[in-house]
Amino acid sequence: MSIVVQNLRRTFGTFQALRGINLEIADHQLVALLGPSGSGKTTLLRIIGGLDFPDAGQGSVVINGEDVTERPAAERKAGFVFQHYALFNHLSVFENVAFGLEVRPQKTRPSKDAIRDRVLELLRLVQLGGLEQRLPSELSGGQRQRVALARALAIDPKVLLLDEPFGALDAKVRKDLRRWLRAFHREIGVTTIFVTHDQQEALELADVVVVMNEGQIEQIGSPQQLYDHPATPFVYEFLGDVNKVRKPGRPDVFYVRPHEVKILFAGDASAELHATIEHLFAAGPSARLTLRIQESRETLDADITRLQLEEMGLSEGDEVGVHLTLTRS
Amino acid sequence: MQAKRPRSILPGFGLSLGFTLAYLGLVVIFPLLMVFVKASGLGWQGFWEALWSNRVWAACRLSFGLSLFAGLLNGVFGLLIAWVLTRYRFPGRRFLDASVDLPFAMPTAVAGIALTTLYAPNGWIGALLKPYGIKVAFAPAGILIAMVFIGLPFVVRTLQPVLEDFEAAQEEAAATLGATRWQTFRRVVYPQLVPALITGTTLAFARAVGEYGSVVFIAGNMPGKTEILPLLIITKLEQYDYAGATALAAMMLVVSFVLLLVINFLQRKTLVRTSA
Amino acid sequence: MSEQTRSTQDPLWTRVLLIGCTVGFLLLFLFVPLALVFAEAFRKGIKVYADAVTEADALSAIYLTLTVALVSVPLNAVFGISASWAIAKFSFKGKSLLLSLIDLPFAVSPVVSGLVWVLLFGARGLFGPWLQSHNLQIIFAVPGMILATVFVTFPFVARELIPLMQAQGNDQEYAALSLGASGWQTFRRVTLPNIKWALFYGVILCNARAMGEFGAVSVVSGHIRGETNTLPLHVEVLYNEYNSAAAFACASILSVLGLLTLALKTFIEWRVGLRRQKH
């Protein structure tokens, strides 16, 4: 189900949450809305889902050819998974998932058996089989998240909307669920949009990433496109570590990623700059050097392999030469 | 009551707890115990004799029955009022919210004579109902109205915090799943309000059973018909029937204690349930 | 936020209907009776009103009401502070039992609250003979009325302070002690300022109930005009004599007290709300 958003504006009092959003999402895609707090990504998600509406006359939301801008959530068939799950605390897991089917009007409501089959099937799909009689209070965070997902899927939604789905979970659980969600999406194929402020998550999971800042879209593209060809300084800085460097004799600022900083021996002729290693951090897959550039007194972060670290025999206090590959301003 | 040696370095434990227990004992415990001591002085025989009369029975039926009915009415209207006050925004809302405490702040006798005058056959409302043959003052209906009056704040104030803290996302979730507002209320919100609703209704009930000032004027106090329990106790005292008065008081105390335990239990259960 | 967003708003007709019912209900049950008090009080004119509230028995009733309140409220306030200090700052066994016992007077009928004192100090009470032999009068006299009022308004201050002090914790007091303050200094300079609004709130509620109490004092008072009638009892006497204008005149004074209490209560809640926002 494709989604087309045009010229969306949303203002809260004097705060402009969305300043004219234009977005097209194709069928079956897994899309990330990525941005810092206050960028408008959750507002956009809620408007797509029918939980909020644009300012009067300011924009439209078209789902699969139908203009649903003024239609309330109940009529949109957009499955929504909330940041804190919003499970119905007094209902069992089964009753939670069955809810969307049981509130259907008489005419479209499936039989009790049909509902039962569908609920159990969904629970198996999210790997919560056997837990249908439990109450939400008896489940872990990750389990509750999957119940919320099953509940949203029960209504056969045209689009699945996830609001910071892994925000409230531990790092390890987050990683596992991320992997799981990717496989899950491939299996069920429903157009899915999720909101996150974690760029790692967005880049790992999504087919398409929409980078937002201060109510506007900075760039839309695949994770690779965004990382390799950022369109604006904001995107560049948001999607990874960045150094801002001034070359001697040049007034402008260059952006360099830590892994693009080449470390040479102090006397190497191809060194553009010279620096002292102020701090060395090697407790990980690569080594992170914090360098103090002698020419400009600025600091520079550099990532080198552990191998290079050992081969050059570097330690804190050493002087090195710096060559910047692939610079960009 | 055993007090453990406090593991706190703050001073004043002995003084404060000592004073507290002494005061509590002298002012509350000891006098209340006296009721049971005196009542037991009657012996089981005397106790049952004092209670077992048509007049007492009628007063019990009246007081408990009407209090229950009033409690239920307060439950319904209290829920309505709490919903409107927490969920809607309209001019005068804050004023109405403050006024809910009026029955709580108003001296009971004032409420009593005001309601009586209002519903008496020649009162503002009584006169409107007279042509239909509806008698409110000096009839059970009047007692009911007075009981609803004094019980109102209990239900509203018990429900308001629960409604205010209710997770809005649950209602939004229900909406995204296709539920109408009524379905959302009936299936999602209301079931989670029930514990607080029961607590508030029980509080209103407990208050209504023992209430004197607001009720005694409008009741008419005809033995066997519109005589409430608290008044019966006073009547017996005035007739120097100490035995009867004590027996009734003891019975009412037992009911009060049971209700207090029930209310505390319910309040604890509400706290446990909503922390999911 | 508890108010409804557009996606979870009840339809307009529902809102109109429910608000209408609420306003109607509150009008009928609260505002009309209140209006009636003042209407009846002034029905026979200002002069009758003034006479009614300045008449000798009325004045002594006012005086007695004030006296009873002036004694009971501070006593219960001291108790409330003492109890909340013991309960909130220390851990000991039996705490929840203590809390239930403090709530007891709330659950007891006012009539029974008065009866217990008659059983203790009445002519045929436990201490009756002893009192008589010493020519002391508690029942049908002011001391009895004070006792009954103390009993009935017992929990008010404690109930306001205890949850607040429990929520505030002990950290600030520990800090004060570690800086060398004595127990009393800590209490006066650290604890008291933190609880002052709740204390004020409890005191005005306690006072409203103390001045307005009817059932309990009715039992112990003996209804001796000019001597053992508080204002509420005086109202009853006047009403039973069919002197309704005078009865409502005195009742209007009590109503103003009630309204004042509500206003103060709202003011405090607003102030406390403001303070919470600042943090």
Tell me whether residue B112 is exposed, middle or buried, using C-beta atoms within 10 angstroms of its C-beta: 0 to 12, 13 to 18, 19 or more: buried
Instruction: pLDDT band for C39, please (50, 70, 90 cuts).
Output: very high
A227 has a chain B CB within 8 A of its CB: no
Residues 154-173 of B with CB under 8 A from A: 167, 169-170, 172-173
Handedness of CA B208, B213, B216, B219 (dihedral sign): negative
Q: Which residues of A98-121 are buried (b: 16+ CB within 10 A; e: fewer)?
A: bbbbbbbeeeeeeeeeebeebbbe
- For residue B275, what pLDDT band results from cuts at 50, 70 and 90? very low
Reply yes or no on whether the pLDDT at C1 is more than 80. no
> Which pLDDT belongs to residue C274?
66
Chain B CB contacts of A74 under 8 Å are 175-180
Q: What does the pLDDT look like over C113-130, one tens digit per residue? A: 998 888 888 877 778 888
- pLDDT computed for residue A18 by the predictor: 93
* pLDDT tens string A133-145: 999 999 998 899 9
CA–CA dist B149, B110 (Å, integer): 12
Q: What is the mean pLDDT of residues C54-77?
A: 91
- The shortest CB-CB distance from A86 to any of B172, B192, B275 is to B172
| pLDDT value, residue C9 | 85
For the cut 60, the answer to whether the pLDDT of residue A43 exceeds it is yes
Residue B4 DSSP one-character state: P
- β-sheet with A299-305: strand ranges across: A261-265, A319-324, A273-281, A286-293, A299-305
Instruction: Show the DSSP H helices in B88-180 as ranges.
Output: 93-99, 102-105, 108-119, 126-129, 140-164, 168-176
CA distances in angstroms from C34 to A237, A324, C192, listed in the order given? 67, 84, 37
pLDDT tier for residue A328 given thresholds of 50, 70 and 90: low
Matching CATH number, B53-274, of 2.40.30.10, 1.10.3720.10, 3.40.50.20, 3.90.480.10: 1.10.3720.10
The SS3 of residue C78 is helix
Give residue-wise pLDDT tens across range B106-140: 999 999 999 999 999 888 888 888 888 888 888 88
Cβ atoms within 10 Å, residue A61: 26
CB < 8 Å to A104, chain B: 178
**Chain C adjacent subunits, 3+ CB pairs under 8 A:** A, B
Confidence band of B222 (pLDDT split at 50, 70, 90):
confident
Domain architecture of chain A: domains with CATH: 3-238 (3.40.50.300), 243-324 (2.40.50.100)
In terms of residues, how long is chain B?
276
Q: Who has greater pLDDT, A270 or A147?
A: A147
Structural domain boundaries of chain B? 12-41, 53-274
Residue A78, burial from CB neighbour count under 10 angstroms (0-12, 13-18, 19+):
buried
Report the predicted TM-score, pTM, of the whole model to 2 decimal places: 0.85
* Coil/strand/helix, residue A20: strand
Looking at residues C179-188, what average pLDDT do you find? Answer: 85
What was the pLDDT predicted at C101?
Answer: 85
Query: Of A161 and C105, which is predicted with more confidence?
Result: A161
Q: Give the pLDDT of residue B276.
A: 37
Residue C162, C-beta contacts closer than 8 angstroms, at least 6 positions apart = C83, C84, C87, C88, C99, C102
**B173 to A82: CB separation less than 8 angstroms, yes or no:** yes
Quick check: C146 and C68 in contact, CB under 8 A? yes
Q: Alpha-carbon distance C208 to C149, whole Å?
A: 11
- Tell me the β-bridge partners of A78: A159
pLDDT for position C275:
59
The percentage of residues in chain A with a pLDDT greater than 90, rounded to a whole number, is: 46
Q: Report chain A's mean pLDDT, rounded to a whole number.
A: 89
Measured between beta carbons, which residues in chain A are less than 8 angstroms from residue C7?
Answer: 46, 50-52, 72-73
B180 alpha carbon, distance to own chain's centre: 35
Mean pLDDT computed over C8-13: 88
Cα–Cα distance measured from residue A65 to residue A61, given in angstroms and rounded to the nearest whole number: 10
Q: Is the pLDDT of residue A87 over 60?
A: yes
Inter-CA distances, C177 with C86, C167, C172, Å: 17, 20, 9
Distances (CA, A) of B220 to B117, B143, C122: 12, 9, 28
Round to whole Å and give the CA distance between B4 and A281: 53
Region of poorest pLDDT, from B46-55, B127-136, C194-203: B46-55
Q: Do β-strands A78-81 and A159-163 pair in parallel, antiparallel, or remain unpaired?
A: parallel
Say whether A2 sits in a helix, a strand or coil.
coil
- pLDDT tens-digit profile of B173-211? 999 999 999 999 999 999 999 988 998 999 899 889 999
Q: What is the pLDDT of residues B5-50, one digit of tens each?
A: 445 677 888 888 888 899 888 888 888 888 888 888 878 887 887 7
Q: Which residue(s) pair with A279 in the sheet?
A: A290
C6 touches chain A (CB under 8 A): yes
Q: What's the pLDDT score for residue A326?
A: 61
Q: Which of B7, B9, B217 sits opposite C177 (nearest CB)?
A: B9
Residue A168, both tokens: 């409230």
**Band (C276; pLDDT cuts 50, 70, 90):** low
- For the four alpha carbons of C49, C51, C55 and C57, in that order, the dihedral sign comes to negative
Of A51, A86, A100, the CB nearest to B178: A100
Is the minimum CB–CB distance between B274 and chain A shorter than 8 Å?
Answer: yes
- Report which of A3, A7, A20, A17 is spatially closest to residue A161, judged by C-alpha positions: A3
Exposure string for B193-210, b = 16+ CB within 10 A, e = fewer: bebbbbbbbbbbbbbbbb
Task: Using the predicted structure, report yes or no on whether residue C202 has a pLDDT greater than 50.
Answer: yes
CATH class given for the domain over C44-278: mainly alpha
Distance CA C143, CA C219 (A): 13
Question: Would you say residue C191 has pLDDT above 80?
Answer: yes
Region of B240 on the Ramachandran plot (φ > 0 left; ψ -120 to 50 alpha; else beta) = left
Sign of CA dihedral B143, B145, B150, B151: positive
Whether residue A26 is predicted with pLDDT greater than 50 in this model: the reply is yes
Query: What is the C-alpha separation between A210 and A242, in angstroms, rounded?
Result: 20
Domain edges within chain C = 8-42, 44-278
Minimal-distance CA residue of chain B relative to A98 = B177
Average pLDDT taken over every residue of chain C: 87
Answer whether B114 sits within 8 Å of C31, measured CB to CB. Answer: no
Q: Lowest-confidence range among A236-240, A246-250, C175-179?
A: A246-250
Could B170 and A88 be called an inter-chain contact, meaning their C-beta atoms sit closer than 8 Å?
yes
Which of A314-318, A324-328, B224-228 has the largest mean confidence? A314-318
Q: Among all chains, which residue has been given the structure tokens 């004579």?
A: B113
pLDDT at B1: 46
**Who has greater pLDDT, C7 or A328?**
C7
More confident residue, A238 or C17: C17
Q: What is the mean pLDDT of residues C210-221?
A: 90
How far out from the chain centre does Cα A290 lie?
28
Share of chain B above pLDDT 90, in %: 38
> Does the pLDDT value for residue A301 go beyond 60?
yes
The pLDDT > 90 percentage for chain C reads: 37
Distance CA C268, CA C61 (A): 30
The tokens for C119 are 């059983």
